[in-house]
Amino acid sequence: MRDPVLRLALPSIISNITVPLLGLVDTAISGHMGSPAVVGALAVGSMLFNTLFWLFAFLRMSTSGLTAQALGRGDYRAILYYLRNGLRKAFAYGIIMLLLSPAILRISLYFIAPEAEIELLSSTYFYICIWSLPAVLATFVMAGWYVGMGNTRIPMCVSIGQNIVNIMLSLFFVYCLKMGIAGIALGTAISTWLAFLFSYVCYRRVLPEGLTIHGSVADNIGGGNDKLSQNVSLPLFLRTLCMIIVHFVFVSAGSKHGAVTLAANTVIIQLFVVFSYFMDGFANAGEALVGRAVGGCDSNMYDSTVRSLFAWGGGLAVLFSALYFVGSGWFLSMFTDSEPVLAAIADYRLWAVSVPVVSMAAFMWDGIYIGAMRAWYMLSSAVFGMAVFLGGCYILAPVMGNHGLWFSFVMYLAMRGLVLTFLSRTIVLVGRC
């Protein structure tokens, strides 16, 4: 495959597409356990757990960009350092979250206020899954490191394998051992640890012969690399926090317009999620190639990568918007057969059509900025975008209703892309090396 962007992007896209399969199977298993409360408990428990590890997504992004730049410089000591240092942080954060998990669960359930049965079942799910958090965070680091090394096939294999094992274990624990929702959680926890172990065992495949994570090579790294890693982690963490706030405000504001509107928003947002799987794959390719170009001071590689990313991203955005315009009814009918919800969706279809084109630049620039390790500017785009979104919710939503909410969300996506586009002219160029 001649285009390096496409070569790296395709395995990432395949890996991303396998992610929703697990949620669908878990939901299907819980839906056949004889109690609607189990489905609700799975939704609550998985939301709490997913929010926790989403907060630590910066571990993957920072490891990816830093490793790619070190590879571009040919600095294998730094490459090894970023892997070991990232794993050390992942386990430290995971253990801290384990200790705080009882308080986190109590506070979360207080605000969610589910029914007593759902609270009990979701607590069971959460307390089992939380033991896999260190492995989740460590797998984030491994995935970022592989992307930084220009290898997206191993993370793809890890993701596919994890989903297959998880499904098999969940079916065994639920239907053979009759463990209920605890079986679903245990399947998730075990498969997560197995995924990390497999990912860790494979790291030697992408290193030159004779290098290993253990020993003096990684120990002799100076403190400058650790300081750089810390300077990158904080803004990426805050950026993720801004995105989580936007997500929760969007859901909360939509719920105020009634159950039908909330359901319509939830279904439409799935179209954006599907599109994001493809864009994230190309963003991952951007992280690896831009990082290598910046580390190696290769302005030609940087320019060609940016052109290729926006060519592929722009083409896919137009294609998805066209598909959603022509076939949105068919797509959305896969998620619901409720006539009131489908009727409400029809009123907001144009927002679903506009989102791919509007959000494409934000996805592409995110990958480029991660590779260039301009994390503070990524944070600034998220802050500006969040401010626009919250302002729109406050000013437009009371007047325009749910259309005002969607307009605010679209402007949030557009603002992120615009800010990063503006900053790219003076910040992300490689010619200063």
Q: How far apart are CA 392 and CA 406, in angstroms?
A: 9
Burial bucket for residue 221 (CB in 10 Å: 0-12, 13-18, 19+): middle
pLDDT above 80 (res 11): yes
How high is the pLDDT of residue 230?
Answer: 63
How high is the pLDDT of residue 215?
Answer: 47
pLDDT above 60 (res 432): no
How high is the pLDDT of residue 211?
Answer: 58
**N-terminal to C-terminal alpha carbon distance within the chain:** 30
If pLDDT is split at 50, 70 and 90, which confidence band does 53 have? Answer: confident
How high is the pLDDT of residue 63?
Answer: 93
The torsion angles phi and psi of 2, rounded to 5 degrees, stand at -75, -40
CA distances (Å), 47 to each of 105, 122, 273, 335, 359, in order?
11, 10, 16, 19, 24
Q: How far apart are CA 384 and CA 34, in angstroms?
A: 46
pLDDT above 50 (res 218): no
What are the residues whose beta carbons fall under 8 Å from the beta carbon of 169, sequence distance 6 or more?
Answer: 186, 187, 190, 191
State the DSSP string of 353-388.
HHHHHHHHHHHHHHHHHHHHT-HHHHHHHHHHHHHH
Domain definitions of the chain by residue range: 1-221, 226-433
Provide, rounded to the nearest whole percent, the portion of the chain with pLDDT above 70.
Answer: 85
Q: How far apart are CA 45 and CA 39, in angstroms?
A: 10
**254-275: per-residue pLDDT in tens?**
777 776 777 777 777 878 888 8
Contact 236, 61 (CB under 8 A): yes
pLDDT above 70 (res 220): no
pLDDT above 80 (res 210): no
DSSP state at residue 213: S
**178-199: per-residue pLDDT in tens?**
898 899 899 999 999 999 999 9
Window from 61-75, 102-116, 118-132, 374-388 with minimum mean pLDDT: 102-116
346 or 412, which is more confident:
412
pTM higher than 0.85 for the full model?
yes
Mean pLDDT of 294-304: 87
How high is the pLDDT of residue 191?
Answer: 94
C-alpha 151: how far from chain center: 18
What are the residues whose beta carbons fall under 8 Å from the beta carbon of 351, sequence distance 6 or more?
Answer: 268, 403, 406, 407, 409, 410
CA distances (Å), 135 to each of 23, 129, 188, 194, 218, in order?
19, 11, 11, 9, 22
Which amino acid appears at position 11 of this protein? P
pLDDT above 60 (res 429): no
Mean pLDDT of 108-127: 84
Nearest one of 136, 124, 137 to 184, comparing CA atoms: 124
C-alpha 43: how far from chain center: 18
How high is the pLDDT of residue 261?
Answer: 75
Q: How far apart are CA 311 and CA 294, in angstroms?
A: 21
How high is the pLDDT of residue 401?
Answer: 83
How high is the pLDDT of residue 336?
Answer: 59
Per the prediction, the chain carries an average pLDDT of: 84
pLDDT above 70 (res 367): yes
Mean pLDDT of 69-97: 92
User: Residue 17: how many CA atoms within 13 Å on its side-chain side?
Assistant: 9
